Structure 1
Amino acid sequence: MIRITREADYGILLMTGLAQAEGQPRSAAALAQQRRLPLPMVGKILKALTRAGLLNSQRGAQGGYSLARPASEISAADIIGALEGPLAITECSSERHDGCARQDHCEVSGHWPRINQAIYSALQGISLDDLSQPNPPRPLHFHPLHPTGVHQLDRPI
């Protein structure tokens, strides 16, 4: 099973809370309380998202965290990548892959980058704005004829 980390899951929850705040800074404590998450983990995640350029951080009584760019310009892939690093479904699809002892004999190694790209494209096609809506705008369906393998009802992603 392919899973994102708890940090990435919480990161998406925190980012949707900030998107719904419509530009108003929110403190780590307020976000932790709103999303019912442990404050130490919230602080760690917010700092990582700030380092990645997805959030602005402002100190002071009126300070807090806010989105660094519009929610429509931040993707699920951006958030997950900021917290987990580059997407790599297998070791041989990692950017840091130096080779594998089985690579010369592996019949599927050439397919992993394509599978990796399909997953990345699907995540890239879902914006923070989409994630901030109470219901998904359109369901996703597997589309075997589209290069990414994923298709929204009205457009490939």
Structure 2
Amino acid sequence: MDISARTDYAVRAMLILAEAQEASSGPVSVESLAQRQSLPRKFLEAIVADLRTAGLVTSTRGAHGGYALVRPATDIVLGDVFRAVDGPLAEVRGVRPHETAYDGVAAHLPTVWVAVRASLRAVLDTTSLAHVLSGELPDAVRELTADPDAWTNRT
């Protein structure tokens, strides 16, 4: 799985907004989001627009304007952010895994694709911004990363 720059930047920006929400410090400007995580401002503007369209952030105009989370950080999971900026978690040639069908030797492959999507959901739809911000990750995430092999590249 390839995690796009859009998704990486979106999650990092959302974590800043979650921190601001926790501190009750008000909206955060795109300039501040970009500076705090060394993100390209113009690219980030388009990403934040996608997050707003998806109903994850709200914008406030004016000198003290910027962006803020629409819901508590505990109620926004990473899967929400992934889908907002990059679409479905898993697709096979532009088709949802459960909609694929193959003949012959590949007849059971759709089951594998659905399992891949389910495993992504098991992590991304149970891990909230608040979990990442605090470092208190869900048990499933901690168990997966406790295996030393999880940290090893395979070629």
> Same-fold call, TM > 0.5?
yes
Q: TM-score under structure 2 normalisation? A: 0.79
| Corresponding position of 2:78 | 76
Q: Whose helix fraction is larger, Structure 1's or Structure 2's?
A: 2
1:92-118 Cα offsets, whole Å, 9 max, x none, are 861795x56xx1221322232122112
CA distance in 2 between counterparts of 1:119 and 1:39 reads 29
Distance 1:129 1:109, change over 3 A: same
Secondary structure at 1:91's aligned position in 2?
A: coil
Identity %: 31
The aligned amino acid for 1:115 is V
Q: Which moved more, 1:21-30 or 1:77-86?
A: 21-30
For 2:58, the equivalent position in structure 1 comes to 56
Distance 1:114 1:78, change over 3 A: same
CA RMSD of aligned residues (A): 2.1
Secondary structure, counterpart of 2:130 in structure 1: helix
Contact 1:92 1:109 in 2 (8 A): no
Once residues 96 and 51 of structure 1 are traced to their aligned partners in structure 2, the CA distance between those partners, rounded to angstroms, is 27
Map 1:8-157 onto structure 2 (within 5 A): 8-22=7-21, 23=24, 24-91=26-93, 94=96, 97=99, 99=100, 103-105=102-104, 106=106, 107-133=108-134, 135-137=135-137, 140-142=142-144
Tell me the CA shift for residue 17 of structure 1: 0.4
Are the aligned partners of 2:18 and 2:73 in contact in 1 as well (CA < 8 Å)? yes
Total equivalences in the alignment: 137
CA contact (8 A) 2:28 2:68 kept: yes
Q: Deviations over 1:21-76 (max 9, x none)?
A: 12410110111111111110111111010000000011111211000000000000
Preserved contact between residue 93 and residue 112 of structure 1 (Cα < 8 Å): no
- Consecutive unaligned residues in structure 2, runs of 5 or more: 145-155
What amino acid is aligned across from residue 67 of structure 1 in structure 2?
Answer: L
Tell whether the 8 Å contact from 1:72 to 1:129 is kept in structure 2 after alignment: yes
1:92 and 1:6, CA in 2 relative to 1: closer, same or farther beyond 3 A?
closer
